[in-house]
């Protein structure tokens, strides 16, 4: 029976896309305790930047490998530029404020970025399919898949592993963990908390913009994609536990596999799957699968 | 006409202040003075995913109103549009509608792409007694389940798209055995598939339904759905997807061989051709939600003026929401002109305008007569064809085009869509 293989593959393919979108959101929350509502807008920004660079590259007719560099470059640059600006200008003044204020500020950032993107790119959809179609297809279990999809799985795994290693194995990573654990003690130890925050937010932003750029060849890059991205990313992160990278990976896998199974076996319920999982997880583990209970400090 | 009445009472006060005339009697409703302008609220998506429809609609309104105003307006009265963003959901639109009527004091409202917004706004239009012209929403429920005095729709409803698709597909592929649907899980997707399936099963009773897939609206990623369809290999796949979702499905499905394996029909597919360009696979059946196709009778003077003018101003060919907006704005002009004529040259009362609207006939692109029936709903012919890359345009165009006359794709007056389909003889 080939159906289980197809479900597994479809599920993992979707999980890869979900993870790329959700990873940055969970990192930013994990380090800074800020739920960045504008995360989806960064994703959209990456999609526009990647598509824009690819279109510019296509106009110059270079070798095909350059396409992928343009896509990656657009994705990384968008986050590397916008991340520090947003953190320094908008987030820095509100770290000490209540959560509601932080939510409002990132929400207003979401609205601002939506309009900025409309000013820059208009409302007509941007269309680039080359990077997806160019790699060709492969038949697995009797079903044709695009190589690009399989590549996305690899990129998601590599990204996840690299970020996890960087946080756990490098000096900067350990400083991030220290700041996450206790901001005040970290300051007394001489850690430049401001710089760690800028770094963490920029990494989160790059993950979002990179995700957007990599997904762009599959979708229509147009107004509205940011909302969809943030809703899904939020669901995945809540299932996995806010702030946990492993949680985001597991959450993405659970959502991806369940949705794929629903499409193949019970398409009538597809719409509800993500939210049913969310409800089920929150009923039994209100902090998500990998969430840790928060210790109250006086 | 609130505005007209305000203008009149202003005149009355001025007259009293001038101290000459005896102004006692209230202004009789029938004697309307010509207003300074006709203020029209125009509601269309200007942000969010549906802006790709909403903006071509708004553009058409802007272009046509400019043209009318250059030519002297309606009966000498200039049109002043007030553009409103349709984004934000039905409740927000109801609030915006009240604001347009009560604060902005518009004379009428043209608008709404989303069926949910149409269904929510119609009763409020009735309550506030303001003429409201629905320009793009497709739900058949609005006039099949309710009756409105102040609400009109200057286009056909969703039955047209799906009945035309069924007839076309069966003519193209008479031996079709299995069909599958991939439609967004909300009213539009559900209704579209329901009508298509009903029509197909009526026209060919031995047809089997292989799968009914219901991805979320704006899901964007359809890997599993495409795999499912590749496994099932249905003869025909029906989808009422629109813009972003539609483009996503084309992008992801084409390299995986979806369009080579099954005959795929996209009921509102015409609007994405210019976006997808050279990547559009050939042999895909596309509808245009009416006969809204820029290459249909291109030399008709009305059509040519619209296509050339629109393209010169916005750099693209008009797509079906642009044509729908044209039908709404041109309809309002035709109705007011008829009402003015019926009122013996005077500016008409709202009741006279509504009376003129029922049964109005006027010319629209691509060069045909638009008819608004007594049930307040328009009927249109349907164009449908298959995609072909001709090299003449930087995008695919429709080949093997068939135009279905209105009586073949719209239920007869007074009959509900489902009853109509059920009454077909094989």
Angle, alpha carbons A229-A231-A233 (nearest 5°): 65
Q: Which residues of B touch A236 (CB under 8 A)?
A: none
Task: Evaluate if residue B15 carries a pLDDT over 80.
Answer: no
Instruction: For residues B94-99, give the mean pLDDT.
Output: 97
Q: Which domain holds residue B249?
A: 159-288+381-422
Q: How confident is the model over A68-89, as pLDDT tens digits? A: 999 999 999 999 999 999 999 9
Residues B273 and B417 in one domain: yes
* Tally of structural domains, chain A: 1
Residue A20 CA to residue B267 CA, distance in Å, equals: 33
Calculate the CA B38 to chain-centre distance: 22
When divided into structural domains, chain B yields a total of: 2
* A296, part of any domain: no
Q: Tell me: pLDDT of B192 over 70.
A: yes
Give the Cα separation of B90 and A213 in Å (integer): 32
Domain that holds residue A41: 3-284
- In CATH, what number is assigned to the domain containing residue A71? 1.10.3470
- Would you list the DSSP string of B223-252? HHHHHHHHHH--SEEEE---HHHHHHHHHH
**C-beta atoms of B247 and A127 within 8 A:** yes
Do B86 and B113 touch, CB atoms closer than 8 A? yes
In this predicted model, which residue has the larger pLDDT, B93 or A60? B93
Give the span between the Cα atoms of B221 and B315, in whole angstroms.
30
> What are the tens digits of pLDDT across the range A149-194?
999 999 999 999 999 999 999 999 999 989 888 888 999 999 999 9
Is residue B45 within 8 Å of residue B86, measured between CB atoms?
yes
What's the whole-number average pLDDT of chain A?
A: 92
pLDDT of the residue at B17: 42
- Pinpoint the alpha helices (H) of chain A: 3-32, 39-60, 65-86, 99-121, 130-134, 147-169, 171-181, 183-188, 193-215, 225-240, 245-265, 270-284
Say which residues have a Cβ less than 8 Å from residue B4's Cβ, sequence separation at least 6.
Answer: B32, B33, B34, B35, B347
CB contact under 8 A, A218 and B252: yes
Q: What is the pLDDT of residues A115-133, one digit of tens each?
A: 899 899 987 888 899 999 9
Distance from CA of A62 to the nearest CA of B (A): 19
CATH number for the domain harbouring residue B89: 3.40.50.2300
Structure-token pair, residue B11: 């005149």
Calpha distance B409→B159 (Å, rounded): 7
Q: Is residue A88 part of a domain?
A: yes
Contact B251 A129 (CB under 8 A): yes
Tens of pLDDT along A240-295? 999 899 999 999 999 999 999 999 999 999 988 988 999 999 999 988 998 876 65
Look at residue B12 and tell me if it is in a domain: no
Contact residues, chain A, for B266 at CB < 8 Å = none
Asked whether residue B118 falls in the same domain as residue B187, the answer is no
Select from A16, A113, A124 the residue whose CB has the most chain B CBs within 10 Å, as the one to mutate to test that interface.
A124
Nearest to B223 among A10, A114, A123 (CB): A10
Mean pLDDT score across all residues of chain B: 92
Q: Whole-model pTM?
A: 0.89
ipTM associated with this complex: 0.92
Judgement on whether residues B268 and B308 belong to the same structural domain of the protein: no
- B371 with B389, same domain: the answer is no
The answer to the question of residue A294 being in a domain is: no
**Coil/strand/helix, residue B131:** strand
* pLDDT tens, residue by residue, B44-80: 998 878 888 899 999 999 999 999 999 999 999 999 9
Q: Determine whether the interchain pair A220/B247 forms a contact, defined as Cβ–Cβ distance below 8 Å.
A: yes
B188 shares its domain with B216: yes
C-alpha–C-alpha distance, residues B64 and B43, integer Å? 15
């Amino acid at each position: 029976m080939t159906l289980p293989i197809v479900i597994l593959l479809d599920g993992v393919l979707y999980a890869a896309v979900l993870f790329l979108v959700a990873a940055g959101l969970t990192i930013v929350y994990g380090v800074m305790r800020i739920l960045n509502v504008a995360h989806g807008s960064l994703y959209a920004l990456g999609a526009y930047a990647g598509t824009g660079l690819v279109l510019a590259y296509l106009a110059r007719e270079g070798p095909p490998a350059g396409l992928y560099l343009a896509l990656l470059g657009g994705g990384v640059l968008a986050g590397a530029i916008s991340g520090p600006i947003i953190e320094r200008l908008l987030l820095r003044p509100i770290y000490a404020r209540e959560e509601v204020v932080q939510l409002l500020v990132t929400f207003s950032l979401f609205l601002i970025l939506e309009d900025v993107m409309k000013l820059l790119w208009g409302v007509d959809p941007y269309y680039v399919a080359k990077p997806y179609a160019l790699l060709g297809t492969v038949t697995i279990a009797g079903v044709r898949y695009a190589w690009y999809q399989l590549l996305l799985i690899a990129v998601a795994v590599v990204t996840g592993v690299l970020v996890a290693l960087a946080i756990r194995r490098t000096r900067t990573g350990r400083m991030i963990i220290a700041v996450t654990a206790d901001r005040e003690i970290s300051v007394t130890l001489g850690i430049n908390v401001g710089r760690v925050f800028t770094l963490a937010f920029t990494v989160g932003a790059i993950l979002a913009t990179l995700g957007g750029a990599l997904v762009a060849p599959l979708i229509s890059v147009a107004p509205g994609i940011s909302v969809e991205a943030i809703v899904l990313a939020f669901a995945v992160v809540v299932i996995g536990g806010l702030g946990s990278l492993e949680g985001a990976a597991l959450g993405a896998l659970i959502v991806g596999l369940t949705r794929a199974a629903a499409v193949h076996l019970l398409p009538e319920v597809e719409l509800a799957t993500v939210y049913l999982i969310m409800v089920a997880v929150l009923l039994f583990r209100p902090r998500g699968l990998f969430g840790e209970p928060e210790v109250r400090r006086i | 006409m609130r505005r007209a009445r305000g203008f009149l009472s202003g005149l009355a006060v001025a007259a009293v202040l001038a101290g000459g005339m005896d102004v006692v009697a209230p202004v009789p409703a029938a004697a309307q003075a010509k207003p300074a302008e006709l203020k029209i609220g125009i509601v269309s998506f200007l942000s969010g995913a549906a802006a790709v429809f909403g903006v071509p609609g708004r553009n058409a309104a802007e272009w046509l109103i400019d043209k009318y105003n250059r030519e002297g307006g309606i009966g000498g009265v200039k049109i002043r549009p007030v553009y409103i963003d349709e984004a934000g959901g039905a409740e927000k639109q109801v609030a915006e509608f009240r604001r347009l009527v009560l604060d902005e004091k518009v004379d009428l409202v043209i608008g709404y792409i989303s069926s949910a917004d149409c269904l929510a706004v119609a009763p409020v239009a009735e309550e506030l007694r303001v003429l409201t012209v629905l320009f793009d929403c497709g739900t058949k429920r609005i006039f099949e389940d309710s009756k409105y005095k102040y609400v009109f729709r200057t286009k056909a409803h969703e039955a047209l798209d799906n009945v035309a698709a069924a007839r076309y597909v069966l003519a193209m592929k008479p031996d079709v055995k299995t069909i599958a649907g991939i439609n967004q899980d909300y009213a539009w997707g559900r209704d579209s598939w329901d009508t298509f399936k009903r029509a197909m099963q009526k026209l060919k009773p031995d047809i089997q339904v292989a799968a009914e897939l219901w991805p979320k609206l704006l899901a964007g990623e359809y890997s599993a759905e495409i795999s499912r369809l590749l496994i099932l290999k249905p003869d025909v796949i029906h989808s009422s997807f629109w813009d972003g979702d539609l483009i996503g499905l084309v992008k992801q499905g084409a390299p995986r061989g979806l369009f080579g394996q099954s005959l795929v029909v996209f009921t509102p597919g015409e609007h994405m051709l210019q976006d997808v360009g050279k990547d559009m696979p050939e042999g895909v059946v596309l509808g245009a939600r009416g006969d809204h196709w820029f290459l249909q009778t291109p030399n008709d003077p009305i059509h040519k003026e619209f296509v050339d003018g629109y393209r010169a101003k916005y750099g693209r060919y008009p797509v079906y929401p642009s044509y729908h907006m044209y039908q709404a704005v041109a309809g309002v002009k035709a109705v007011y002109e008829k009402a003015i004529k019926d009122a013996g040259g005077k500016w008409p009362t709202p009741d006279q305008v509504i009376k003129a609207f029922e049964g109005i006939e006027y010319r629209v692109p691509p060069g045909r007569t638009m008819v608004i029936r007594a049930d307040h709903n328009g009927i249109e012919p349907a164009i449908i064809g298959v995609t072909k890359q001709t090299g003449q345009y930087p995008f695919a165009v429709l080949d093997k085009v068939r135009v279905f006359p209105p009586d073949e794709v719209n239920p007869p007056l007074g009959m509900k869509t489902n009853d109509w389909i059920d009454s077909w003889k094989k």
